[in-house]
Structure 1
Amino acid sequence: MALSTHKYHEAHSVYRRLTNREKTLIEWFHGNTQSLLDNDFAVSMSQDTDVKVLSVGAGDGHVERPIFSCLRDSLGYSKMNATIVEPEASSIQRFQDLVAKEPLQGVNFDWRCQTFQKYDKSEEAMGDKFHIIACMGSLYYLGDLNEVLKNMYSRLEDGGILLLGVAQGGIGFGKLVQYLQTKLDNSACTERYSSWEVQDACKNLNMAVSQTYIIEAYLDISMCLDKPPDQLSQDALAMLDYITYREDFVRRAPPDLRGEVLRFLGSECTERGPAGEFLLEESTALLVIRREGYILHCFVFKVFLEGVASLV
C-alpha cells in the first residue's frame, strides 16, 4: 500500500534527519549560482525589473530560501517576486515562519497553498510568466511527466530557465527507483522519476537540456541492512518506507519480495564506506532547460536573411 500523506511525512522527517542531501544542495548553490546563471540565463532586463521566480513543491523552504538568496545576489537585481506553490498548509506555514525569522531583503512572497495542477488551471494564475522556475525534488508529485513539463515550460519568459532537481539515473537511489518500478505496483502511488526518465521526456518534447550538474550526496542506510527485518529500529523501518514509498514495507511486503528488494539495495545500489557502512548514493541531477525566445529567433532570422542576400 502506498504511503498515506501522514505516514509519508513521518517517514520523510526521519529521512531528512539522516540525509545530507539538502546540505549539499545548499552548498552547491552557494558556490555555483553565478556560473549557472552566466551559462543559462538569457533574459535581458533593466535594473528596476522585478525578477519573477516560481517554486513548485517548495515544502518548508529550508532548501528554497537559501536558493532564492543565491539567485537574488547573483542576478544583482534589487527586487524579486517569488511565487510559492505548495499543497501542504503546514509546510507553507513553516516556510512563512522561516522567512519571518530570517527575512530575505527585496524578496516579495506570493503564497499559493495548492497543487501545481490546480495553480496551473486557476484563473488567478492565468498568464503568469516567470524568469526562473525551480522544482527541486518534487517533480514526482506532479502527475503526468510530459504534461507538467510542458506546463512549466510554457510559464517561462523568453530566455528564462527551468531548474529540475531529480535523482541521478543509473546509480544509487536513481537505480533503485528504476528497479522498484519493475517490482512494485505503482498504479496506486505517485511515481518517482530519475534523470533518465526526465531527460527522455524533455527530448520527446523538444525541450533541450542545456546543462546538467551532478550534486553528489550519500546516505548511510546500514541500519536498514545490518540486522534481520524483525530486529530493525523504528528509524530503519521508516527509512525503508520512505525509500520504497510503501507503508510498513517490512511487515506488509511478501517475504520473498522484501528479501529481494533488500538484497538489491545492499548489493546493487550501495557501496561500502571506510567503516563497512552501506552508503546509498543519492546524488541530485540538476537539469537546466532554457526557453529560447525572441532574441534567439531574431538572431536565427537575421542569419537566414544574410544567407539569402548572399545568394542574390
Structure 2
Amino acid sequence: MALKCLADDYSRYKKSFQLFLERSSEHQCMRDFIRGVLPDILASIGQGKSNLNILGVGSGAAKTFYVQYKGRSEIDLEIMSQLRLKHPGVNIDNEVVEPSEEMMLNYKALVSKSPNLEHINFNWNKMTASEFENHWRGKKLTKKMDFIHMIQMLYYVADPDATVSFFRSLLNKNGKLMIILVADKNKWGNLLKKYRKQLCQNDISQCVTTGDIKSFLDAKGIKYKNYQLPSQLDITECFKEGDERGELLLDFLTQVLNFSKTAPPDLKKGVMDFLRHPDCSEEGDGKVVFNNMLEVLVLDA
C-alpha cells in the first residue's frame, strides 16, 4: 500500500513543521544572511529609481498548499526592513503570493503591527505560484520586478525549473531573484533522493535541492551566486520509540503521514540508519544533531 503524503493532512503538517522550526536553526541562519549579506545584494537593485517592485512567493503548485509558520512572514518583513535601510524614501510596491487564507491573515496582522513600513504598498495575491503565473500571462501584465524572493517553496511546485524560469522572466534589467532551498550537501535532500520512489508520492513534496536547480541553471548558461547557510536540526526524539514529537519530526523529514506507524520495516530501518549515520549527524551529550544546511542562489535577470 502506498504511503500517504504528509501534506494531505493540514493539521499534522502544521504541527510537524512548527516542531521542525523549534528544533532547527533554520530561521536564525536565514536572519543572519538577510542582515549580513543581503543588504549588499539589495544595494545593487533599482539604483536611482523612486519606486521598487518586489515579489515574495511563498506558495505551492495548483490544488496544493504550503503550510508556513509566522516566522516566515517575519523573515519577509526582515527583507522589507533591509530594503528600507538600503533605499530610504523610495516607494516600494510589494506583491505577496500565498494560497493559504490563514497564513495571509497572519502576514497582514504582522504588517499592521510593524513600524517603519511607510512608503510600502502591499498587494495580496491569494493564489499558488502556478495560479499567479496563469493570472499574469492571462492578463498580459508587463510589470517588471526589481527583487523576487522564493524561500523554501520550490518543493511544492510540479515543475521547479519552469517556475524559476517564469519568475526570472519578470525581473527588471538590474533585478535579482533569490532562491533559498536545502543545499545539495544537506543530508535531508540526500535522504529524500535515496528513498525517492518510496517516499515521494505527491507533487507537493518534490525531492529538490539547490543541486537540482544549479544543474538546470548551468545547462541553460544562467549565471548565479550561491551562499551556504549552516543549519542544524535536533532529531534526538526521533530515536525514542513511541515519542510523539519524534514521530512528528519523522513525518516532516520523510514527508510521509504517520511514517513510523505505516512505513514497511525495511524502509523505516533504512531511514533511521541514514539519519543516524556519522556522515549525516553528530552525536554527543545525549543528542543527535542532523546536518540541515541551506543554500541561497541569487540570479540576475
- Superposition TM-score tier, normalisation by shorter sequence: 0.7 to 0.9
Map of 2:295 onto structure 1: 285
Alignment-mate amino acid for residue 168 of structure 1: A
Offset from partner CA, 1:223-280 (integer Å, 9 cap, x none): 112x3xxx33211111110110000000011011111111011115533254242111
| Counterpart pick for 1:255 among 262, 265, 271 | 265
Q: Deviations over 1:45-101 (max 9, x none)?
A: 33xx21111000074412111122112212345321111101111000000011111
Instruction: Name structure 1 gaps, 5 residues minimum.
Output: 292-312
Of 97, 107, 119, the match for 2:109: 97
How many residues are paired up? 282
Distance in structure 2 (CA, Å) of the matches to 1:266 and 1:178: 17
Moved more, 24-33 or 56-65: 56-65
The answer to whether residue 119 in structure 2 is matched with residue 106 in structure 1 is yes
Please tell me whether the aligned partners of residues 95 and 122 of structure 2 are also in contact (alpha carbons under 8 angstroms).
Answer: yes
Distance between the aligned counterparts of 2:199 and 2:261, measured in 1?
15
Aligned 8 A contact 1:175 1:269 in 2: no
Of residues 142, 146, 156 in structure 1, which corresponds to 2:157?
142
Residue 167 in 1 paired to residue 170 in 2?
Answer: no
Task: Give 1:2's aligned residue.
Answer: 5
RMSD over aligned CA atoms reads 2.0
Cα drift, residue 113 of structure 1: 0.6
Q: Secondary structure at the match of 1:62?
A: helix
Kept in 1, the 8 Å contact 2:158–2:204? The answer is: no
4+ aligned runs moved over 4 Å, structure 1:
none
1:294 matched residue in structure 2: none
- What is the one-letter code of the residue matched to 1:37? L
Of the three residues 231, 239, 243, the one matched with 1:217 is 231
Mapped to 2, the partners of 1:5 and 1:83 lie a distance apart of 28
TM-score of the two chains, using structure 2 as the length reference: 0.87
When the two structures are superposed, what TM-score results if normalisation uses the length of structure 1?
Answer: 0.84
CA distance in structure 2 between the partners assigned to 1:124 and 1:278 by the alignment: 51
Return the match for 1:32 from 24, 37, 58.
37
Q: Which amino acid aligns with 1:176?
A: L
Of 147, 171, 190 in structure 2, the residue corresponding to residue 132 of structure 1 is 147
Paired with 2:140 and 2:284, the residues of 1 have a C-alpha distance of 51
Task: Answer with 1 or 2: which has the greater Rg.
Answer: 1
For structure 2, the residue ranges without an aligned partner over 5 or more in a row are: 60-67
Identity %: 20
Letter of the 2:181 counterpart = V
Is contact 2:184–2:210 with CA below 8 Å preserved after alignment? Answer: yes
CA apart distance, 1:185:
4.2
**Separation in structure 1 between the aligned mates of residue 230 and residue 294 of structure 2, nearest angstrom:** 6
